[in-house]
């Protein structure tokens, strides 16, 4: 092991969380090695919404410009009845201070972070390296890694696992896994030329009983991203029947759209700790996967990254630093979990309860939208 690899902090996973934590550590003066099992990053997923909390961190990490140039700015989410298309409410997403809200392709966000990581001398990204086992106790984390079929071990005072909702780190520690929520996301994209101009520049959430559909532009407005969130019992969408009865611009866009696949929506146990054995910190979905009813999963991974690097910077004892990280993040995540549960309940309300919901939301919304 070289001097560098001994002192560099290992990070498992080069998704949004792993890359963000690498960058945050480097900006705070730490070296880090990022281990990613894939060798090629694919265009996983489609759209992502980034709220002001995430944008602030991205700005501090020096990637706001790259992210912004691939994004479309939004001011509000319009909630609509999925059948009639009628606007129910207009929910502003920018704060009073004017901080922004962007929508973009997940691959563009990932690319912006990966480019910044590649030009950061304190970071090394090792692709094709898989975490196969991990222990964290006695003040050190021991990682078992596999490259080209050969396994090797590395021991460090601390390690970071950002290996997603189906985390190998979490299962190595014998923790309860993230569970299916009974909801899935079917994702689509359609060329904006083939979609109605009514959908072109805004974020729309189309509500119906037990299901909602979110649409917004990605790739600088060239594509329309469509996510259908509904029960996992339904067949993956095929044919026209599924979209009949939807408001015209939405049904039309779905009929012309390219299906990207189905994502089961998982939820990590609410009681999961973020630090284990005093030596392993969980970041992003590995720590707190939640279904995307508040569009905050990536934002939380980005916030985790910043708080973790800040804690390591402010607290010289790494064990105390990890404790500080966990103490700061758990209450924040608990508040988000409540918001996710509330949105899930409200968005999927069946009739006649949805009529009451719509009336309440309309009263709280600017009058111009009660069309």
Residues that bind ligand FAD (CB under 6 A): 12-18, 35-38, 48-49, 130-131, 162-164, 168, 185, 227, 263, 284-286, 292, 295-299, 301
Size (the chain), residues: 371
Q: Give me the least distance between CB of 46 and ligand FAD, in Å please.
A: 8
CB nearer ligand FAD, residue 66 or residue 362 = 66
CB nearer ligand FAD, residue 93 or residue 358 = 93
Tally of CB atoms within 10 A around 50: 25
How far is Cα 108 from Cα 228, in angstroms, rounded to an integer? Answer: 21
CB nearer ligand FAD, residue 129 or residue 279 = 129
CB nearer ligand FAD, residue 81 or residue 130 = 130
What is the DSSP code string of 126-139?
EETEEEEEEEEETT
Q: Give me the least distance between CB of 370 and ligand FAD, in Å please.
A: 27
Q: Give me the least distance between CB of 186 and ligand FAD, in Å please.
A: 9
Q: Give me the least distance between CB of 275 and ligand FAD, in Å please.
A: 16
Tally of CB atoms within 10 A around 106: 18
**Using H for helix, E for strand and C for coil, what is the string for 260-320?**
EEEEEEEECCCCCCCEECCCEEECCHHHHCCCCCCCCHHHHHHHHHHHHHHHHHHCCCHHH
Q: Give me the least distance between CB of 367 and ligand FAD, in Å please.
A: 28
How far is Cα 281 from Cα 288, in angstroms, rounded to an integer? Answer: 12
Structure tokens at 47: 């759209």
CB nearer ligand FAD, residue 35 or residue 64 = 35
CB nearer ligand FAD, residue 108 or residue 285 = 285
Q: Give me the least distance between CB of 358 and ligand FAD, in Å please.
A: 23
**Angle at the Cα of 99 (from 224 to 214), degrees rounded to 5?**
25
CB nearer ligand FAD, residue 230 or residue 284 = 284
E strands, 128-276, where?
129-137, 140-147, 150-156, 159-161, 179-191, 203-208, 211-218, 223-231, 258-267, 275-276
CB nearer ligand FAD, residue 35 or residue 306 = 35
Beta carbons of 70 and 112 less than 8 angstroms apart? yes
Q: Give me the least distance between CB of 369 and ligand FAD, in Å please.
A: 22
Q: Give me the least distance between CB of 278 and ligand FAD, in Å please.
A: 22
Tell me the CA distances in angstroms from 143 to 99, 232, 262, one per residue in order: 40, 35, 32
Beta carbons of 204 and 93 less than 8 angstroms apart? no
Question: Cα–chain-centroid distance for residue 310?
Answer: 21
CB nearer ligand FAD, residue 215 or residue 358 = 215
Beta carbons of 103 and 72 less than 8 angstroms apart? yes
How far is Cα 363 from Cα 346, in angstroms, rounded to an integer? Answer: 16
Q: Give me the least distance between CB of 213 and ligand FAD, in Å please.
A: 11
């Amino acid at each position: 092991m070289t001097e560098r690899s001994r002192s560099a902090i290992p990070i498992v996973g080069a998704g949004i969380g792993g890359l963000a934590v690498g960058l945050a550590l480097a900006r705070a003066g730490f070296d880090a090695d990022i281990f990613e099992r894939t060798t090629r990053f694919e265009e996983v997923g489609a759209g992502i919404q980034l709220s002001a909390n995430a944008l602030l961190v991205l700005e501090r990490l020096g990637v706001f410009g790259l992210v912004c140039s691939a994004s479309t700015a939004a001011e509000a989410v319009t909630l609509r009845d999925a059948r009639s298309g009628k606007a129910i409410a207009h929910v502003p997403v920018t704060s009073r201070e004017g901080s922004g809200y962007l929508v973009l392709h997940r691959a563009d966000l990932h690319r912006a972070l990966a480019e910044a990581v590649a030009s950061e001398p304190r970071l090394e990204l090792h692709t094709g390296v898989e975490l196969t086992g991990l222990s964290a106790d006695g003040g050190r984390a021991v990682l078992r890694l596999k490259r080209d079929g050969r396994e090797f071990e590395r021991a460090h005072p601390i390690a970071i696992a950002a290996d997603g909702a189906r985390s190998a780190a979490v299962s190595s520690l014998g923790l309860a896994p993230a569970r299916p929520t009974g909801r899935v996301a079917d994702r689509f994209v359609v060329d904006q030329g083939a979609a109605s101009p009514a959908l072109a520049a805004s974020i729309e959430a189309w509500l119906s009983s037990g299901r909602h559909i979110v649409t917004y532009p990605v790739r600088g407005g060239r594509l329309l991203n469509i996510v259908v969130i509904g029960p996992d019992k339904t067949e993956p969408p095929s044919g026209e029947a599924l979209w009949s009865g939807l408001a015209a611009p939405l049904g039309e866009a779905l009929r012309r759209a390219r299906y990207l696949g189905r994502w089961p929506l998982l939820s990590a146990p609410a009681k999961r700790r973020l630090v284990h054995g005093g030596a392993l910190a969980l970041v992003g979905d590995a720590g707190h996967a939640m279904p995307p009813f508040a569009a905050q999963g990536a934002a939380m991974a980005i916030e985790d990254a910043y708080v973790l690097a800040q804690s390591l910077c402010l607290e010289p004892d790494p064990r105390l630093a990890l404790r500080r990280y966990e103490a700061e993040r758990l209450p924040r995540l608990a508040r988000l979990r409540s918001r996710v549960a509330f949105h899930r309940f409200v968005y999927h309300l069946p009739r006649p309860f949805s009529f009451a919901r719509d009336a309440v939301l309309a009263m709280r919304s600017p009058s111009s939208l009660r069309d």
